[in-house]
């Protein structure tokens, strides 16, 4: 039985019309190993997982079938709160931001 990882690899590979041999070559493994990965009879190393994610421009979480955490789905809504910079969870006062900018410029005004 194919795992979700194997199924996603096969799906992504087929969507871009890539052969199993081509994917194996790009991963630096032989076709036999690639075949075993797609049949879930060989484990995928973390390095291989990263390479596969890069090749198909997806996240490793996607390949592994992980659902994103709710916090990962939240985006900042600057209309409600225009605080961008914080320190220890508290907004940085404007005068401190100006001081930090001067420090980063090398003390020049």
Give residue 31's domain range.
4-64
Dist. CA 16–CA 7, nearest whole Å: 15
Residue 24 lies in a domain: yes
Q: What values do phi and psi take at 99, rounded to 5?
A: -60, -45
Segment 87-109, tens digit of pLDDT: 777 777 888 878 888 888 776 55
Q: For the whole model, what pTM was predicted? A: 0.61
Residue 94 lies in a domain: yes
Dist. CA 25–CA 27, nearest whole Å: 5
Segment 29-87, tens digit of pLDDT: 999 999 999 999 999 999 999 999 999 999 998 899 887 654 444 444 444 455 566 77
For residues 49 and 60, the answer to whether their CB atoms sit within 8 Å is yes
Q: What values do phi and psi take at 78, rounded to 5?
A: -70, -15
For residues 49 and 3, the answer to whether their CB atoms sit within 8 Å is no
42 and 91 together in one domain: no
């Amino acid at each position: 039985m194919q795992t979700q990882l194997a199924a996603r690899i096969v799906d992504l590979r087929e969507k871009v019309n890539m052969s199993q041999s081509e994917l194996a070559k790009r991963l630096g493994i032989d076709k036999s190993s690639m075949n075993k990965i797609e049949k879930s009879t060989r484990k995928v190393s973390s390095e291989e997982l990263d390479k596969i994610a890069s090749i198909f421009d997806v996240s490793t979480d996607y390949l592994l079938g992980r659902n994103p955490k709710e916090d990962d789905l939240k985006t900042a809504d600057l209309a409600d709160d225009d605080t961008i910079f914080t320190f220890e969870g508290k907004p940085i006062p404007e005068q401190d931001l100006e001081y930090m900018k001067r420090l980063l410029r090398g003390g020049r005004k």
